[in-house]
Structure 1
Amino acid sequence: MKDTARRPPASPVEARVGLPAASLQTPSLRLLRELLDVAAQVPAAVARRADLSHNELQTLELLFEGPTGPADLARRLGVTTAASSGIVARLESRGHVARTPHVSDGRRHQVAITESGAAEVIGHLAPMFAGLHEVDAGLDDDERAVVEAYLVGTIAALRRLL
């Protein structure tokens, strides 16, 4: 009887993804998973340091894009308009946002981030931005092109989930 080597059963990853598990364990993919894990922890850490709830921090981040109405904030946060109003009221009491009349409809108002709100968020993120700038500045054009191509492909792969 001929002794043939048998392949061990497929791992759950191999069986479900259709790729050998080892192909998902390259150093670059391990680092990418670590980056995604660390990035997911940043909002909670910043909110905690700033003594804000996750939704309050997310509201300030959304308002960096420009003033918006409370109903749009509620939709973008995935909360009710009543919850959005409460978030805005708490941020307003801290001086981080201001309600202003809507530019084209005087019956409505919009919410805008104040200098205090911007300083609160940027103050906590500044060390990260400085570190990212330093890493990016250390790349030459060829290295930057490789990193950009990798990131574009990674973003496309992640967007397939959305």
Structure 2
Amino acid sequence: MAAAVPEWRPSSTLAALQQVIDVAQELPERVAHRAGLSVSELHSLRALSERAMGPVELARHLHVTSAASSGVVDRLVARGHAQRQPHPVDGRRTEVVITDSGRREVIGQLRPMFEGLAAVDNELSEGEREVVQRYLTGVLAAMRRLL
């Protein structure tokens, strides 16, 4: 990298960041496999755990076609992890809602990671947290330049 980007200087923080990126790329596939889900199903459950959404909105979230999203929803409904229900405002539309089973699946799979992250975060002083926040905000800005 240093030859192509003169500002690039190898450092322990950049090495650790690269490891985080590598693990983050591998994580969804491993977690989904353990749960017997596809990666799209796992991502759908995570999104639906935050809020209900229509099938087209879910397709946009997953960056897939409406047909592919419909298949994901069909599989989640068949497993009891989601359900379709009438939209609360527009009765012509449906929305997909996570069920208790789906919520337990997501929490069960991701809880160890979230507990570990919370423990690491809780060890930081406010000053350390500000530095980490500034670093991560800068990392996100640099990465978003490619989106």
Q: Any idea what SS the aligned residue of 2:124 has? A: coil
- After TM superposition, give the deviation of residue 144 of structure 1 in Å: 1.3
Aligned to 1:17: 5
> Match of 2:28, as an amino acid?
P
What is the percent sequence identity of the aligned residues? 52
The 5 A counterparts of 1:5-154 are 13-19=1-7, 23=9, 25-154=10-139
TM-score by length of 1: 0.85
TM-score by length of 2: 0.93
Q: Any idea what SS the aligned residue of 1:107 has? A: coil
> Match of 1:27, as an amino acid?
S
Q: Any idea what SS the aligned residue of 2:83 has? A: strand
- Give the whole-Å Cα distance in 2 for the aligned partners of 1:84 and 1:152: 31
- Give the whole-Å Cα distance in 1 for the aligned partners of 2:24 and 2:94: 34
> Match of 1:45, as an amino acid?
R
Q: Which has the larger radius of gyration?
A: 1
How many residues are aligned here?
A: 147
- Give the whole-Å Cα distance in 2 for the aligned partners of 1:61 and 1:99: 16
Aligned to 1:4: none
Q: Any idea what SS the aligned residue of 1:18 has? A: coil
Q: What are the ranges of 5 or more consecutive residues in structure 2 without an aligned counterpart?
A: none
> Match of 2:146, as an amino acid?
L
- Give the whole-Å Cα distance in 2 for the aligned partners of 1:26 and 1:122: 35
Q: Any idea what SS the aligned residue of 1:17 has? A: coil
- Give the whole-Å Cα distance in 1 for the aligned partners of 2:49 and 2:104: 11
**What is the RMSD of the two structures over their aligned residues, measured on CA atoms?**
1.3
- After TM superposition, give the deviation of residue 71 of structure 1 in Å: 1.3
- After TM superposition, give the deviation of residue 15 of structure 1 in Å: 4.2
